[in-house]
Amino acid sequence: MAIKKRLFKIFEESSFCLRNRYLAKNHILSKPQGLRFDINYKIQSDSIIRIPGGISLTAGSVFETEVFLKGNIIMYKNGALHTYLDEINPLFPRFRPSPNDILNQSVLEKLEDENIHITEDMVTWEFDHIKYKLTFNPLRLEGFYKDELIIAANSKSLMNFEKYRPKGDENNINEVDVNFPIKIIDATQLIEEGEGGYKNIGNIWSEEYLDYIDEKPRGPSSVALDFEFFNASHVYGIPEHADSLALNDTKEGSPYRLFNCDNFSYKLGDTAAIYGAVPFMVSRSPALKSAGVFWLNSSETWIDIETLPQSKHSHWISEAGALEFFLFVGNSPLSVIETYTLLTGPAQLPPLSVLGYHQCRWNYNTREDLLEVSNGFLTNSIPLDVVWLDIEHTDKKKYFTWDDEKFPDPTSMQEILAKQGRNLVTIVDPHIKRDPDYFVHQDSENHNYYVANNEGNSFEGVCWPGISSWLDFTRPEVREYWSSNFDYSKYQNSTNNLYIWNDMNEPSVFNSPEGTMPRGNLHGNYEHREVHNTYGMYMQQASYQGLLKRSQKKERPFVLTRSFFAGTQKYGAIWTGDNAAEWSYLEYSVPMHLAIAIGGISFCGSDVGGFFGDPTPELLVRWYQLGAYYPFFRGHAHIESERREPWLFGEEALRKIRAAIRERYALLPYWYGLFYIYRTCGTPVIRPMFLEYPEIEECASLDRQYLVGSSLLVAGITKELQEHVDVFLPQGRWFDYHTLLEINAGQQSFQVQEDWIPVLIKGGSIIPRKNTPRMSSKEMLADPYSFLIAIDSNDSAQGFLYADDTISHNYMSGEYILADIQLNDFKLSYNLTNTMELENNIDEIMIIGLSRIPNEMILDIKGQKKPIDFGVRNNMIVINISDITISQNWTIEFK
């Protein structure tokens, strides 16, 4: 792959990052020789007012009398502490993402007054085992779990809040970054005085990088704060980066950057920003206790991480916005992540069909081409649920339209796909072709729906259609308009079988700095720099609402987005963008997915086979084998790549790819249940090892193997001609998913098999499956269920089954099956905790690892007992039954 010219800024070109890093490096707590180095803040004790859940307050500099910040700090019964500080009477309003858009209001029950204690110099909140303490002077906020200090905000006094100021006011500029040794040059630049003269550390009114100048007419407005995680061995999160799962020290290098951008064929092992931004970080400690930070800011953000003797220290620096964040403490990293995910969720429960396999390409060029591909999966007996159309299906890149020559009669095409059990996905991007005859452009121009340039006119840039403008999705009325375009009357020839793909929504602008929207563009009263990282999320939200309204809220939407922010899980899936057909991208897909799942977004995947380039048959097969264990499972390719439908690589490759996809479909009941738990509890669908085993040091940095739920361990084959795969298995019993043989715990080296990758079942697990090969998930709906039971060292196992109608929202009103399945004391019990009428039978139960073979098995349904047949094969017990449905309670006693 050709080396790409650098398109994106580095931290040395970010003046607000340099200023705050400089302050962190040179900050001291005293005031020597009259020079003011401090950036300490204090809360005015006489400003404290008790409000529900906490306090309102004002704050300012320790060494100044001016008070210029106001806000509140509130604790909720879910254990989260919310802090919000803004300027008093600012020159310009600061953007704050609407809490209703980001936060799940149903979990925000405020703490009672009796749990909040206020004195003249501090406030404490205490609930259950969680405690937070705010000290006033200097300002410091600490989080405790069972009286152990876990996290502190402003622990090194790096809080900084750059006030808006008139340009040219040198007195105000002197206070800009509150007081470090500077010299003012023409009232524009901050210059450090040192040995060798003066050094530029950041122009505050404009910024140069690459060939661009970013004018900042409103001046500096950055906010910064540090968070220290005590007794933490590792910190994780802040996706999206193509880096290791455990975050690395950045003291001597580049900070991690959060800035949504079209960073195609992104560099691996790097802290650079790519398509999404979730400003959430969580810690892991040997003592199991954990803390998290959710930095609720949508502007460009840089994050430094440093390992200290007893802690991990992080420094968060954002270009604009208010100072707003949540703290979390808990008894494990998993509990913290669950609290955060429900706070920004809950996640969507997707239609079952979109958990199947998706086939995509830029582009399937005609109706005949698309249907031929769909028929090819039938001919070759490969399951498929969704086929996709990229930008070439439209009329001259005008979204919500069809190319009449390439795709005549799209309605009948979708009807044919529906009869095959398939859905169709079409792409709908945010750039709107400036064509006076295009209804979306007409509406947007007439109603002033576009993002404005810095002069207040509709911004014009270049993307796929040529000269384009972009809707301002940050405005509710624009989102409402966008949603209306998914109505059948506007998106003509669309059907309820059609889902949506939002691409290029960072937003991507071909002729603009860093390939995205100029930061000085206007969203009403706010500059684009303030709202940037939420743009794609707001677009996905509007598309989701459009599909919801289209069905009169009867059916669950599916919307894929490339750009994302905290809370995106409410609206659909994401993927890791334009990767490449190289082994290294296959390998890095795992830590990328795990970091995204930690950030609350479990419905994630990577383009199977790689987007750019042409995979070898070996690479493609290995990618399908691992992709079958991605939450979002889609093959996709660039327009210039060779066609890569599975049957084009020879019989051996076809056989292996078919087996991998069928493996995914057999496990759809397990995946679907995990997504239900994800929605209701916030538990990630895929999990790094440390989430299930936080006490095991070897698991803390493992990021090339992972867990699907808690029961399946997956390790990909990510090297060409690889002969062995090293896997670490924690103590307990483990079984090979493919051979069902028991595998010893500890560090294991697996001989590479051509037909599969290592997948292990954890002893003590019960996994629901459907074993009959079908061509789509819709064809499987009436099929019987089976259970694969792997026994632990106590002859026990547990699991659950979730089932519903797979498509409607009726599960929200109680129409679903949820069964608790337990094997204890040689009795297998199936107990419904919620039920609806579904007639699926249970046809097979396979038990591996039981310490003894029973002589007899007795089935009990409603007190009616009868013996049932079973067989033994290689120490595996197989129970074949046909008269039990998933809507009944039953037990099987082993005699």
Residues with active-site annotation: 503, 506, 578
Label residue 287 left, alpha or beta by phi (over 0 means left) and psi (-120 to 50 means alpha). alpha
Whether the CB-CB separation of 88 and 56 falls below 8 Å is answered with no
Buried b (16+ CB within 10 A) or exposed e, 110-132: bbeeebbebeeebbbbbbeebbb
Whether the CB-CB separation of 761 and 711 falls below 8 Å is answered with yes
* Other Cβ atoms within 10 Å of 240 Cβ, number: 27
Query: What letter does residue 247 receive in the DSSP assignment?
Result: P
Handedness of CA 623, 629, 630, 636 (dihedral sign): positive
Rounded Cα distance, 611 and 577, in Å: 8
Which residues contact residue 811 at a Cβ distance below 8 angstroms, ignoring those fewer than 6 apart? 349, 804, 805
Whether the CB-CB separation of 705 and 697 falls below 8 Å is answered with no
Give Cα 648 distance to the centre of its chain. Answer: 33
Whether the CB-CB separation of 222 and 302 falls below 8 Å is answered with no
Q: Name the packing angle between helices 617-627 and 651-666 (round to 10°).
A: 10
Q: Is 280 helix (H, G, I), strand (E, B) or coil?
A: strand
φ, ψ dihedrals at 832, nearest 5°: -80, 130
Rounded Cα distance, 637 and 626, in Å: 17
Strand-strand pairing, 212-215 and 256-258: unpaired
Give, in order, the Cα–Cα distances in Å from 739 to each of 617, 620, 706, 710, 847: 25, 23, 20, 20, 13
Rounded Cα distance, 166 and 18, in Å: 22
- In three-state form (DSSP H/G/I as H, E/B as E, the rest C), the secondary structure along 728-754 is EECCCCEEECCCCCEECCEEEEEECCC
Q: Is 782 exposed, middle or buried (0-12, 13-18, 19+ CB in 10 A)?
A: exposed
Copy the structure tokens of residue 164: 């808006």
Whether the CB-CB separation of 655 and 690 falls below 8 Å is answered with no
For the chain, what is the radius of gyration of the CA atoms? Answer: 28
Whether the CB-CB separation of 260 and 532 falls below 8 Å is answered with yes
Copy the structure tokens of residue 785: 């269920």
Rounded Cα distance, 22 and 26, in Å: 6
Give, in order, the Cα–Cα distances in Å from 578 to each of 504, 601, 602: 11, 19, 19
